[in-house]
Structure 1
């Protein structure tokens, strides 16, 4: 099923490409930086980068903002709160929270591809309060409970 998502460029972003898939079967749409001037992101720092657009999507969708693998591998640039969620009722500018986990400063230039946006279906869920939960083999075992393999 094809879901239509409306996208609106913001004033001053005429030269910024709209999100686009970089290959026919790519899951994500690459996002471009709509910064007015280059932004230097020093090691250990984080910053919010504008993309120059807003969107409106059906209530059955969410948009997830994820790191670009090449930036992560080559420069240690990633998205915090990853994946970041854009809810269907949000109408503000899409922005990307980038962090530099690398050892060198990284400069973000206008029109640079900085992240990717993947759309996901959101199931309708009803939470039911219960006094007891069904037992499982795992039980309350959490982080690292299965040991090394």
Structure 2
């Protein structure tokens, strides 16, 4: 099934590339930095980077903002709150929360690819309150309960 997602380029960002897939079977649309001047992210620093566009999605969709693997591997640049969720009713500018987990400063230039956006279908879910939950072998075992080896 195909869904239409409306994209609006925001004023002053006509030179910024709109989200685009870089290969035929790519799951994500690359997002571009709409910074007005080069932005240096120091090690350990987090920044909110504008993308120069807003969008409108059908109610059954959400957009997830994820890191670009090359930036993460080569420079330690990743997204906080990953994946970040953009709800179908949000109409503001899409922004990307980046952090530098590397050891050296990293500079983001205007129209540089900084993250990717994967659009997913959100199932309609109803939470049902019960007095007891069904039993499983795992039970309440949580963080690290199965060990490391």
Where does the alignment leave 5 or more consecutive residues of structure 1 unmatched? Answer: none
Corresponding residue number in structure 1 for 2:83: 83
Distance 2:147 2:80 in 1: 28
* TM-score of the superposed pair, with normalisation by structure 1: 0.99
Partner SS for 2:117: strand
Where does the alignment leave 5 or more consecutive residues of structure 2 unmatched? Answer: none
Corresponding residue number in structure 2 for 1:101: 101
Distance 2:3 2:145 in 1: 40
Q: CA RMSD in A?
A: 0.5
Partner SS for 1:130: coil
Which contiguous aligned blocks of 4+ residues in structure 1 show a shift greater than 6 angstroms?
none
* TM-score of the superposed pair, with normalisation by structure 2: 0.99
Aligned residues: 149
Corresponding residue number in structure 1 for 2:124: 124
Q: CA deviation digits over 1:79-131, x for unaligned, max 9?
A: 00000000000000000000000000000110000000000110000001111
Distance 1:107 1:83 in 2: 22
